[in-house]
Each structure stands twice: as C-alpha cells, then as structure tokens.
Amino acid sequence: MDYHELLKSLAEPGEGKIVLLVSDGIGGLPLQPGGLTELETAKTPNLDALAKIGVQGLSTPILPGITPGSGPGHLGLFGYDPLKFIIGRGALEAAGIGFAMSDKDVAIRCNFCTTDAAGNITDRRAGRIPSDESAAVVQKLKAIKIPGVEIFVEPVKEHRFVVVFRGEGLGDAVADTDPQRTGVPVLKPVPHEGCAASKKTADIAGEFHAQAVKILANEPKANNHTMRGFAKKPHMPSYEDLYGLKAACIAVYPMYKGLASFAGMTLAGEPKTLTEEIDVLEKEWKNYDFFFVHWKYTDSRGEDGDFDAKVKMIEELDAVIPRIAKLNPACLIVTGDHSTPAKMASHSFHPVPTLFVSDLARTDEQEHYGEKYAVYGGLGQFQAQYIMSLALAHAGRLGKFGA
Amino acid sequence: MDYHELLKSLAEPGEGKIVLLVSDGIGGLPLQPGGLTELETAKTPNLDALAKIGVQGLSTPILPGITPGSGPGHLGLFGYDPLKFIIGRGALEAAGIGFAMSDKDVAIRCNFCTTDAAGNITDRRAGRIPSDESAAVVQKLKAIKIPGVEIFVEPVKEHRFVVVFRGEGLGDAVADTDPQRTGVPVLKPVPHEGCAASKKTADIAGEFHAQAVKILANEPKANNHTMRGFAKKPHMPSYEDLYGLKAACIAVYPMYKGLASFAGMTLAGEPKTLTEEIDVLEKEWKNYDFFFVHWKYTDSRGEDGDFDAKVKMIEELDAVIPRIAKLNPACLIVTGDHSTPAKMASHSFHPVPTLFVSDLARTDEQEHYGEKYAVYGGLGQFQAQYIMSLALAHAGRLGKFGA
C-alpha cells in the first residue's frame, strides 16, 4: 500500500479546516557562518507566538541535497511524490500563464528565434524582444489553422510563448526542435519511435511551424521559433479524491494557480496583494476545507540576492498572521516550497522551517519560528510530502490504520 | 535487498538477550500547549536512571500523521513493514481471543443480528446482547457440521463472535455479508471472481449460515448473523527465521499474544498482572533470546481520557524496571506501539518516545525519559520498524554488511 492509497483509505470527513501558508523560498542562509538567516533576522512576533503553541521541524522538499523548482517543490507540499509525479515543461509553462489544460491537450514551450536567409539560427532568443512586441507577434500566429485540432497560442514573457494543441489522441513524446546552438536550422519535430499518438502531434507541430515561418517571414527579429517540452496535462489524483478535501488556491501568480489546479484545487478570487489574499481567505472561509495560500515575494527578493528586502517580505507576512489565526483553523501550516537564500540568489537544497499549529500538536520547547529553532523542533526532519498526512492528522481528518 | 533479507543475512548467534518492553500507547500530549505529557508528568526515577545511561529518540509507527491500530503498531515494533504485512480483520479477531490459527484456517468476524419475518435486518447488532447471553447462543452454533471442514465457533464480546473454517485449499477473498444497513437481508457470501479457493470458502460460509439461521430461529434477538473480514493467517517470516532469535511473548491480553504468535514467538506463562509478567520474565530468562513484554494499561487509561490514571500506570511500570534491569539484558528497549494521549482518549499519530539501554549505546545528554527529551535524543526520529535492527545491533547480534 503506498502513501496515497493509505491516505485515501483513511481520510474521514471532518469540520476541521486546514490552511497551508506557503511563503515561497522562505528558508535561507546566514551571510556569514554562524550568523542569522533572513527568517531569524526578521522581527516576527506573530509567527513566534504561534511557534510557542505549535510544533516545528525541517522539511526536505525532494531528497537531501536536491534543489527543487517551483513545480516539484509545490507538488511535495501538496502530498505528491515529486519524483513520481513529473509535470512536463510545456504543461508547467501553460500553468505558469494560467492556461487551463484539458486531457486532450499537448502544451509546448516556444521561443522566438532569428534565422538568416539560409534558414540557420543566428539568435536563439530573437534578441530577447520586449514582451509587448513579442505579444503582438504571437497575436499574428493565432491565425494558424490545422484541420482536426484546436490551437491556442499565448504570450509568456520576452521571446517566450506557449502553444497548445487540443485534439483526440495526441501524444507528447516529441523531441525538442531547438538545436541548442546557432548556425544550424530549427530541427523538425521528431516523435518517439513507434508512438503513433506522438507522430500525430509531431505532424501537427511540423505543420504549425511551416505556417508560422510564413507568417513571421518579415519580422526583423522573431522570424522563426523553436518548440520544447511537449507535455500533456499531468495525471494526478485530486485533493477531493485523495484526501476528501474541498480545496481552494489563493495565489497571485499564475504558475502557482496552475500547479494548484493540477491538484484539483479551485482558484479562489483574483487577489493582487497579500492583503487581498487574506481578504479572499476570510470571504471563502466557509466554502472550503483546505486553503493553499501563496506568498511570492520571499522567493523573489531571495532570487534578487537582497537579504534585507527578503527580511522585509517575511515581516510583511508576519503582519497578516493574526488575521489567519483569528479564523481559528484546526491546522495551520507555515512553510515554504524550498529555500531561496539571498546569499545564493537562487533556489537551494536546504530544508525548510515548517511550523504546525493545532490543538493536537505535541508542542515543543521552541519560542521562535526559524531554521535554528526548527533543528530542535518536535517534528524533527521529514520529507515535505508528509506535510499532507500530518495536516490531515492534526485537523482530525484521518481514521486509524488497522484494528 | 530489502530490510528483512539484509537482517537475515547479517544475523549472528550470540549470548546477548533483548527485552522489548512495550508500554501500550505510552506517548501522550500535554493538556495545554507547552504543558507536560503523561510520561513527563509521571515520577519515573528508574526509567530516568536508564535514560542517563541509554539513548532515546522518537519512533514513528507507520508514517508521519498515521494513527496505527494495535495490529500494525505491534508489527512495526516487531520489525515488519506494517504497510506490507497486513493482518486481515478475521485473523486479528481470532488473535484477539487467543485462537491459534493454522495455515489451513480462514477466520471470520461474525456479528449476531436481528431479522424480521421477511428476513430483513432490523438490528445489525442484535441489541448488543450481553456477552454471557451471546456466549450461550454461540455454544449452540458449535453443533454445525459441514463435511470436509473443521469448524470453530468462539464468542468474543456482546454480539460479536469468531468463526474459523479449517480445511484444505480454503481462500479468503470472500466479500462481507453485512449489508451495512437495516431493512435488507443478510448478503450471500460472494467469492472474488475467478478464485476457486475462495469459492470453496464462500460455499462453506453459505452452508454455515443456512444451518445457523435454523438453529437461531427462536432466539429473540440473535436470530441471524453476518460475516466480515474473511482472513487467512498472515504469512510472516518468524523471529527465528529472520533474526535467529528464540523469542518469547509475555502478555496478559489475548490480542497481543495473537500478534506475537504470528511472528513465531512462544507464549510464555499465563501472567495476569505486571508483577506476574516480570515473574515469568525472570523464570524464563535462560530459555529465550528475546522477550516481548507487554504492559496494557497505559493505553487503557489513555483511551479512557484519564490523564492522572495514565500517569499512575506509567509509575507502576517504572516500579518494575529495577527487576528487569537486574537481569542485565544486552539490550533493553522501552517504547510503545503508538501514542494514546488522554487528551484525545484514543490512539494517535504522534511519534513514540523510545529508549535503548545497552553497553553499546552511544549515550546522549538526556537525563529523563519522555517526549520532550526524546526530541533531543541521540536516536533522532526514525521508523519503528528499525527498532529491531537497532535491537540486534545493540545486543551484538548483527554482523558487518559487506567487506
């Protein structure tokens, strides 16, 4: 019996609500050995108050030493084994712009590129043309029609856009058409040998590219494009199916909304700020069992390498904690999908301080929320995937295993 | 190579004796955040003395957040993966009344129920008839004879009883006959499609039920019965086979004796109290390598929701510790099969404080035995299944893996 089968067999209906508050990339590093991390530096009286009545530990997103992207990082938090449930890059890119994929879709990450008169690539990113210019060119590609398939073309950022083919029997085992170097032509889309469904997709992709180069012929920079990461919608059991939870996602950024929608969460509201996210949480409180609330900027400022700015973003999060606590969730979890130390200006492999607050928590002796406190926390060190079983248990939503 | 293959290949004969002292449901919760658990509240000078010379940690019975029943809880302690070795409900019920199953047996949990003149169930539990009345009715069912199969019918408690069919080639893939509601008849026993062995069992069960309803026709309440949890004896490698240990079970309650017998332990003595259990331990000390000693009442008082009474039961356990220590086992383990916090009045998912005392223990800095000390203990947090490999190692009974 695996983890999901186990949880599915034990999940019980209940009244207890769960809030999974994800401060993206909240874990960090001290700038100097022995110093304080961003979280330890931040003044967080409200999170510390929760630490006193809760229990904390360190969650490992994937495996020790492994740095997760946003996709696997969130899948782990949502209780999916991130090494088993892989979201293809095309599907992740579609999720990232909030495109709602269906089971008939194959999504592809495309890059505009520049080719010379001989058809050889001179710039793999079409000079990173500005997003507004790029979006105007994408608009022209919407004219492409191929019989038997519905086509969506959506801008992303700069030279990047997404193409989705929607049709019957489309496979996604198609190789990238980006040769990864200049001086050579864009590759033909080649299906994985012996896969008829992917041959169909490759044929459609070839036809799409043929029509696109005609439309793009007079563009100064974006006169060609490559295709990468052909991917169908991931097959993931839903929160409702696995845990019996009616789940809502409260997030600002499309990527996280997309990831949550793969898990079957409903996208609640259209918040633009953290304050608006908490507004949505309060407004929707009665309508869901589970709330995934996503705070982006701890990651963003970590990625910027700006220690002080990340500290401020943690303090902004702390300021809204009383509003969440006032709703009195049966289980509130404060965590991150990974660490993003300003010192590294990137995601990192370091485990994530994770705090549980619940009437059923076996409280520990920690009086602050932070990496060095979590080391001595009652939850010890554990895989992020188990946050979901712990959440269900702390909310009184899991029955006993065996007699 | 899996865990069992590994241990089997490394197990070495030795003189060192192992005592696995299981205080059922010993782990607990503070009544208020930051307060003391039952174990932390109890005065345990003898256990604390062992903590000073031992090493402790927190064991997770199944997986984080999962609350185990007694069956999976003990299987984990005995070194079996509780998600792989599943004991069917019928076999567990048979174990619970101390019935010694053979490999030819299929055990079934039965409930007396009441049906009306049309044969429809009016009470699924026959008014929960008292145990003595029920036992008398069970006695009548012993008259049932079916050619080619030996039949055992044994009372359990109130409306519950156990039926065991013993014969050649009996399968256990037979669906429950309890329709789980009133106003409809008892279902026929239906075998899993295409399973001849289970068809044989289902036919016998059908004949048993037919004879039973004739015998029960004039009973005021218990005039019919349902059958659930058809189960053969679980196939588990024995302690002797896996670990090379001659193992004894010293327990008062039949359920734990049954579980131990599935692992091939010998049931030693017939103790009725904790003192008598230790008498048996002393008496049998020379005859076995491994002793599973079970103390029931920490769980019972936890289930009652009686914090103070559970504290007392822990103190009763503490009082016998010197007698065990005096035997000088090579490895003494003090643990529980799960937590049973009085605050929850039920089994819970919280990890269990687990103490190892051995001349080979790498001692930690803890001076008391308890949940909050175990958080800082030298063993960290680990799955209960590994208690057995740690026990063998601390008793000097495991060879080196690889050259």
**What is the predicted pLDDT for the residue at A118?**
95
What DSSP line would sit under A236-260, residue for residue? ---HHHHH---EEEE-SSHHHHHHH
Q: Are the C-beta atoms of residues A169 and A180 closer than 8 Å to each other? A: no
Contact B87 A3 (CB under 8 A): no
Candidates B31, B38, B39, B63, partner chain A, best to mutate (most A CBs within 10 A): B63
pLDDT-based confidence at residue B403 (cuts at 50, 70, 90): confident
**What is the predicted pLDDT for the residue at B97?**
86
Classify A3-86+237-394 by CATH class: alpha beta
**What is the predicted pLDDT for the residue at B251?**
95
**What is the predicted pLDDT for the residue at B298?**
98
Contact A52 B68 (CB under 8 A): no
- d(CA B31, nearest CA chain A) in Å: 9
Report how far apart the first and last C-alpha atoms of chain B are (Å, whole number). 16
Choose the closest CB to B375 out of A378, A382, A391: A378
Choose the closest CB to B65 out of A53, A381, A393: A393
Superfamily, domain B3-85+237-394: Alkaline Phosphatase, subunit A (3.40.720.10)
Q: Which residues pair with B20 in a beta bridge?
A: B292, B333
For A390, nearest residue in chain B (alpha carbons):
B65
Contact A52 B33 (CB under 8 A): yes
In this structure, the number of other CB atoms found within 10 A of the CB of residue A2 comes to: 10
- d(CA B228, nearest CA chain A) in Å: 14
Residues from chain B that touch A363, judged by Cβ atoms under 8 A, are 30, 33-35
Tell whether the model's pLDDT for residue A40 goes beyond 80: yes
ipTM: 0.89
- Average pLDDT along chain B: 96
- d(CA A44, nearest CA chain B) in Å: 20
- d(CA B267, nearest CA chain A) in Å: 21
Residue ranges of chain B whose CB lies within 8 Å of a chain A CB: 29-30, 33-35, 37, 58, 62-73, 82-84, 86-87, 89, 92-93, 344, 346-350, 371-372, 375-376, 380-381
Choose the closest CB to A400 out of B58, B69, B93: B69
Residue A306 exposure: Cα atoms within 13 Å on the Cβ side: 12
Contact B30 A363 (CB under 8 A): yes
What DSSP line would sit under B216-253, residue for residue? HTT-SS-SEEEEEEEEEPP----HHHHH---EEEE-SS
Contact A403 B83 (CB under 8 A): no
For chain B, the structural domain boundaries read 3-85+237-394, 91-232
**What is the predicted pLDDT for the residue at B95?**
86
**What is the predicted pLDDT for the residue at A98?**
84
For range B41-51, the mean pLDDT: 98
For range B21-38, the mean pLDDT: 96
Burial category of A185 from C-beta neighbours within 10 Å (exposed 0-12, middle 13-18, buried 19 and up): middle
Contact B344 A362 (CB under 8 A): no
How far is residue B119's CA from residue B123's CA, in Å, rounded to a whole number? 12
B34, containing H or E segment: none
Candidates B62, B81, B157, B349, partner chain A, best to mutate (most A CBs within 10 A): B349
DSSP state of A337: S
Distances A5 to A8, A286, B90, B229 between C-alpha atoms, Å: 5, 28, 22, 19
**What is the predicted pLDDT for the residue at B380?**
98
Residues of B241-255 as b/e, b for ≥16 C-beta within 10 angstroms? ebbbbebbbbbbbeb
Encoded tokens for A241 = 């199916």
Span A3-29, pLDDT tens digits: 999 999 999 999 999 999 999 999 999
- Which residues make Cβ contacts (< 8 Å) with residue A23, sequence separation at least 6? A295, A298, A314, A317, A334, A335, A336
How far is residue A194's CA from residue B127's CA, in Å, rounded to a whole number? 65
pLDDT-based confidence at residue B254 (cuts at 50, 70, 90): confident
- Average pLDDT along chain A: 96
For A383, nearest residue in chain B (alpha carbons):
B64
Span A115-154, pLDDT tens digits: 999 999 999 999 999 999 999 999 999 999 999 999 999 9
pLDDT-based confidence at residue B194 (cuts at 50, 70, 90): confident
Tell whether the model's pLDDT for residue B333 goes beyond 80: yes
